[in-house]
Chain A
Amino acid sequence: MSEENNAIRLVNITKSFGSVLANDSISLDVRYGEILALLGENGSGKTTLMNILSGIYYPDSGTIYVKGQEVKIPSPKDAFNLGIGMIHQHFKLVDVLTAAENIILGLPGSVRLNRKAISAEIKKISSRYGFDIEPEKKIYNMSVSEKQTVEIVKLLYRGADILILDEPTAVLTPQESDKLFEVLKNMKNDGKAIVIITHKLNEVLAVSDRVSILRKGCSVGTVKTSETNRQELTELMVGHSVSLEIERPEINTKHGEYLKIVDLTCIDSDGHKVLDNINFSLNGGEILGIAGIAGSGQRELCEAIAGLYPVKGGAILCRSETPNGPVNENIVGKSPTEIIKKGVAMAFVPEDRLGMGLVASMDMVENMMLKSYKQGKGPFTERKKPRQMAERMIKELDIVTPGVSTPIRLLSGGNVQKVLLGREIASEPSVLLVAYPVRGLDINSSYTIYNLLNEQKKKGVAILFIGEDLDVLLELCDRIMVLCDGKVSGIVNAKETTKEELGLMMVHIGDEKGGETA
């Protein structure tokens, strides 16, 4: 490769945040007419590195060459001037403005806005690459994939020829991802340099020409995609060999229905139906996965069952233990405390771990007490038992923390999740709701969480698992329910379905299997 073909060359880039070294002397090059995948686990420094390129962060040391010239990139504006454009994982779009307004934001030009001319120019660009875009549509009315299109057009409008995409498929359905990859390949053939940041191996193998792997802020090598495979990439990424199989233990004993949802309907503050006639049942000893595009009602479903979201209609029947044996109790309209008093043993692991699940500035013992503070006698809190529980949990779950008195917010994401899940499991629930339990976790922590869930499943707990990675759902769950715009578009057997089928169900309602409610 000649020097001119190098779009970007990074030499010994180092960046630290306080005492954390996010990038440790990383060197990398990106070429025109190729797609480079930047692979690494969460927290390995991929995004930091690309943020340095796009002018969001400024490196502590190291040199950046763009098109062979040494450059400094102190602000995003300078990155644009060099032809570097980044599409962030969380889109940098202003909600209340239209697509066109977002695209021309911050650009020089006439004082007065000529909206017609701008729209025409946007249409021209999008027809060249085969995008579908409505310039006058407001961003908040757009789907995730439409927003992503706006981001890409925004960069092309600014004349970017080096495009960086941070986890571009995290929020897309498999079909939308395929469409995106097609566009990326078109742009690659057009001579543009493209970097995609990802931790999904399938994507790397499907779309990239070369792969650079980062681990804990260090560069561990660059390989040609055609000369590598899944196993090798994983080992490079994690640092040791790991089994990629997720266990799915078979449970033979019948536990019966623990949770039954009948015609559940919820309405949000705008009067929009966020859950529309949901019907399903959940048996003991099984994991029911919930798939769907982000915002299809997953969160509302969990919160409605946990008694935190107002229910408009329908019933949530939960098995509760009474002296006369188990009975089905309708828990709609009851507060979490009342639900517990009814003898329903339910535990909820919300997606917002440090907002809803745990109190970030309190330590482990105090977070344990959030569940048990009502049990003590008299005005004083009982700290002894929660402390023992916390200490036991640290040992059993390998939680890395300086001690039980360290505030939770100082722990890493994986350890925070272990504390939360550990606390919920310790209450010995019969129904366990987990929402995105491995979001933001590295591979090792993710597998620890899967194992914990499987252990509970073996004990006969009924588990509702809301996930985003379809591969994981397919391997871990027994059945998968797909939500689409607040409706159930189908419940399928995880062993018999495919990713493509799930993807279709995520966007369509009324699939043939839609009627099957097991």
Chain B
Amino acid sequence: MDTVINLFCAAVLAGTPLLFGTLGEILTEKSGNLNLGVEGMMFMGAIAGLAGAYFYEQIFTVPSGIVAAIIAVVFSFLCGVLGALIYSFLTVTLRSNQNVTGLALTIFGTGFGNFFGDVLAGRAPSGYAAVGAEIKSVFQGIKIPFLSDIPYIGKLFFSYNFLVYVGVIIAVLMHFFLNKTRAGLNLRAVGEDPAAADAAGINVTKYKYLATCIGGGICGIGGMYVSMVICSGVWVFNCVGGIGWIAVALVIFATWSPSRALLGSLIFGGLSIMRLYVPLGIPIQIYDIFPYLATVIVLIATGIRQSKEHSIPKSTGLNYFREDR
């Protein structure tokens, strides 16, 4: 029983950055933009969040953990937005190829994160950039009086860091937004058929920019989770290392639904930490294959099962130009 609970908790923790990346990309693809730069935007968010908290700590000698957390969230979000803004400008305004632009963004963001991470580390007297214990503690599990003390339930649901809850709230809000609001309906129309949306009087460019940029910001928060929670506020070279790519695959697994993204990221989070909790007596390298293996299986399964309702927004990957003939 304890093993199961521990596995579940660890899966949630490992799945949260995937959840952010997946949610960000779902929002982006709902507007018809296939942004393969998730990995890049996560790197950008990772360094921006860490650097924000780090400099805040350097400037104010008595840092407040809450303020540092807010700074990290805001900075990582904005830096993700910046990456997505570059992408939107290139694909929506200049109508360049979405795949190429996304890949370029990944390469750019990876370099951006590692470069500034090194700069940060180089300037630090200790040789590596790390935040202090005060800030570190806000990114650790919370303790809610009474609730966290309930046996099992407390550990299963009320023991995580605040970003886990932020991720779940974003997923719920996004589900509501896409299915129950006018703006959500308009966004879905833009992603399915921009020409129809345009003819209905929807500002396609505005929706594409907004959805892509907010999506990028959410990916950025996911990156910050990696640097602040998983790496405990220390810059680790190549820390995001493929999480963004799994998130792109998870979007397909979740069939573009934020609520299923919750389940998907939990499963994939579990697969990625399985070797610590489920001893199967196989080399650890084989454990490391699991998330990627699952991705391949998901891609095959979704390729076979074709459904109109649960498939990719139809115009994803295509740029829209009203006067196209």
Give 1 or 0 for each of B186-216: 1 = CB within 8 Å of chain A CB.
1011001101111111110000000000000
Q: Number of residues in B with C-beta < 8 Å to the partner?
A: 26
Residue A111, interface by CB 8 Å: yes
Q: Which residue of A lies closest to B183 (CB)?
A: A111
- Give, as a whole number of angstroms, the nearest-CB distance from B306 to chain A: 7
Q: Is the CB of A56 within 8 A of B323?
A: yes
A-B pair number, CB within 8 angstroms: 87
Q: Determine the chain B residues whose CB is within 8 A of the CB of A120 once the complex forms.
A: none
Q: Is B181 interfacial (CB-CB < 8 Å)?
A: yes
B197 touches A106 (CB 8 A): yes
A197 CB, nearest partner CB in chain B, Å: 16
- B123 located at the interface, meaning its Cβ lies under 8 Å from any Cβ of chain A in the complex: no
* A94 with B197: CB separation less than 8 A: yes
Chain A residues within 8 Å of B188, by CB: 94, 96-97
CB closest chain-A residue, reference B323: A57
The answer to whether A77 has its CB under 8 Å from any CB of chain B is: yes
A101 on interface, CB distance cutoff 8 Å: yes
Are B185 and A105 closer than 8 Å at their CB atoms?
Answer: yes
Q: A88 contacts the other chain (Cβ, under 8 Å)?
A: yes
| B200 touches which of A57, A92, A95 (Cβ 8 Å) | A92
* Complex alpha-carbon distance, A46 and B149, angstroms: 73
B193 touches A92 (CB 8 A): yes
Contact of A76 among B182, B186, B198, B306 (CB under 8 A): B198
Decide: A105 near B180, CB < 8 A? Known: A94-B192, A96-B308.
Answer: no
Min CB distance B312 to A, Å, is: 11
Q: Which residues of A contact B198 (CB under 8 A)?
A: 56, 75-76, 92
Q: Can you name the residue of chain A whose Cβ is closest to the Cβ of B311?
A: A96
- Known contacts A75-B201, A76-B199, A86-B199; A105/B189 CB under 8 A: yes
Residues of A near B314 (CB, < 8 A) are: 95-96
Chain A contacts for B192, CB-based, 8 A? 94-97
What's the Cα separation between A92 and B192 when bound, in Å?
A: 11
Q: B183: which A residues are within 8 A, CB to CB?
A: 111
Q: Is B196 within 8 A of A93, CB to CB?
A: yes
**Which A-chain residue is minimally distant from B185 (CB atoms)?**
A101
Contact assessment for B182 and A109 in the assembled complex, using a CB-CB cutoff below 8 Å: yes
Alpha-carbon distance between A88 and B199 when the two chains are bound, in angstroms: 9
**A107 vs B323: C-alpha distance in the bound complex, in angstroms?**
23
A380 at the interface (CB under 8 A from B): no
B306 surroundings in chain A (CB, below 8 A): 269-270
CB atoms of B309 and A96 under 8 A apart: yes
Within 8 A of A (CB), among B281-325: 306, 308-309, 314, 322-323, 325
Instruction: State which of A94, A108, A111, A112 has its C-beta within 8 Å of the C-beta of B189.
Output: A94
Query: Which of A95, A102, A112, A154 is close to B180, meaning CB atoms less than 8 Å apart?
Result: A112
Q: A95-B193, A101-B185, A113-B180 are in contact. Are A106 and B200 (CB under 8 A)?
A: yes
Kindly identify, within residues 86 to 134 of chain A, every residue whose CB is under 8 Å from any CB belonging to chain B: 86, 88, 91-97, 101-102, 104-113
Complex interface: chain B residues within 8 A of A97 (CB): 185, 188-189, 192
Q: How far is the CA of A12 from the CA of B199 in the complex (A)?
A: 25
Most buried by A among B182, B183, B203, B314: B182
Cβ distance B175 to chain A, nearest Cβ, rounded Å: 14
Q: Kindly name the residue among A54, A77, A270 whose own CB sees the greatest number of chain B CB atoms within 10 A.
A: A77
Say if the beta carbon of A465 comes within 8 Å of chain B: no
- Residues of A within 8 Å of B196, CB to CB, are 91-94, 102, 105
Interface residues on A, range: 20 to 34
Interface residue from A57, A106, A113 paired with B202 (Cβ < 8 Å): A106
Are A105 and B309 neighbours in the complex by a CB distance under 8 Å? Answer: no
Encode A309-334 as 1/0 by CB contact (under 8 A) with B. Answer: 00000000000000000000000000
- B308 — which chain A residues lie within 8 A by C-beta? 95-96, 140
Contact with A along B204-230 (1 / 0, CB 8 A): 000000000000000000000000000
Known A95-B192, A96-B309, A269-B306; judge A110-B182 contact (CB<8 A): yes
The residue in B192, B196, B202 that gathers the most chain A C-beta atoms within 10 A of its C-beta is B196
The answer, yes or no, to whether A80 is at the interface (CB within 8 Å) is: yes
Interchain CA distance A432-B182 in the complex, whole Å:
52
Q: How far is the CA of A77 from the CA of B196 in the complex (A)?
A: 12
Cα–Cα distance between A111 and B182 once the two chains are bound (Å): 6
Chain A residues near B197: list those with CB within 8 A: 94, 105-106
CA A80 – CA B203 in complex, angstroms? 13
Q: Which residue of B lies closest to A54 (CB)?
A: B199
Nearest CB in chain B to that of A56: its residue: B322
Q: For the complex, what is the distance from the CA of A106 to the CA of B182, rounded to whole Å?
A: 8
Within 8 Å CB of A88, what residues of B?
Answer: 199
A96 to chain B, nearest CB (A): 6
Complex: how many Å from CA A322 to CA B201?
A: 64
In the bound complex, residues from chain B placing their C-beta under 8 Å from that of A108 are 182
**Residues in chain B near residue A76, CB distance under 8 A:** 198-201
Residues of B within 8 A of A91 (CB): 196
A80 & B182 in contact (Cβ 8 Å cutoff): no
Bound form: Cα–Cα A270–B306 in Å: 8
Q: State A86–B182 Cα separation when bound (angstroms).
A: 22
| With A76-B199, A88-B199 as contacts: A113 and B189 at CB distance below 8 Å | no
Query: How far is A241 from B167 in the complex, measured between Cα atoms in Å?
Result: 72
Residues in chain A near residue B200, CB distance under 8 A:
76, 92, 102, 105-107, 154
B323 touching A105, Cβ below 8 Å? no
Question: Quick check: A105 and B186 within 8 Å, CB to CB?
Answer: yes
The minimal Cβ–Cβ distance linking A114 to chain B, given in whole angstroms, is: 10
**Nearest-CB residue, chain A, relative to B181:** A111
Smallest CB-CB separation from B325: which chain A residue?
A: A17
Minimum distance in angstroms from B37 CB to a CB of chain A: 26
Q: How far is the CB of A427 from chain B (nearest CB, A)?
A: 33
B316 to chain A, nearest CB (A): 13
B199 and A94 contacting across the interface, CB-CB below 8 Å: no
Contacts of A111 in B (CB 8 A): 181-183
- Please, what's the 1-or-0 string for B156-173, where 1 marks a CB less than 8 Å from any CB in chain A? 000000000000000000
Give the CA-CA distance A269 to B307 in the complex, in Å. Answer: 11
Assembled-state Cα–Cα distance A220/B10 (Å): 76
The CA of A222 and the CA of B102, in the complex, are separated in Å by: 53
By the criterion CB–CB under 8 Å, are B185 and A113 in contact? yes
- B52: min CB distance to chain A, Å: 32
**Complex Cα–Cα for A243 and B16 (A):** 73
Closest chain-A Cβ to B234's Cβ sits at a distance in Å of 43
Contact B181–A113 (Cβ < 8 Å) = yes
Q: Chain B's nearest CB lies how many Å from the CB of A440?
A: 13
Q: How far is the CB of B104 from chain A (nearest CB, A)?
A: 26
Q: In the complex, what residues of B have CB within 8 A of residue A101's CB?
A: 185
Residues from chain A with a CB closer than 8 A to the CB of B195 are: 92
Q: Are B201 and A80 in contact (CB under 8 A)?
A: yes
Instruction: A270 to B314: give the CA distance in the assembly, Å.
Output: 18
Determine the residue in chain A with the shortest Cβ distance to B176. A112
What are 20 A-B contacts with C-beta separation under 8 Å? A56-B199, A57-B323, A75-B198, A76-B200, A92-B199, A94-B188, A94-B189, A95-B193, A95-B308, A97-B192, A102-B200, A104-B185, A105-B185, A105-B186, A105-B202, A106-B202, A107-B201, A111-B182, A140-B308, A269-B306
Q: A56-B323, A76-B199, A106-B186 are in contact. List 10 more A-B contacts (CB 8 A).
A: A94-B196, A95-B314, A96-B192, A96-B309, A106-B201, A107-B182, A109-B182, A112-B180, A112-B181, A113-B185
> What 3 pairs between A and B have smallest CB-CB spacing?
A77-B201, A106-B200, A92-B196
Chain A interface residues (CB < 8 Å from chain B): 17, 54, 56-57, 75-77, 80, 86, 88, 91-97, 101-102, 104-113, 140, 154, 269-270
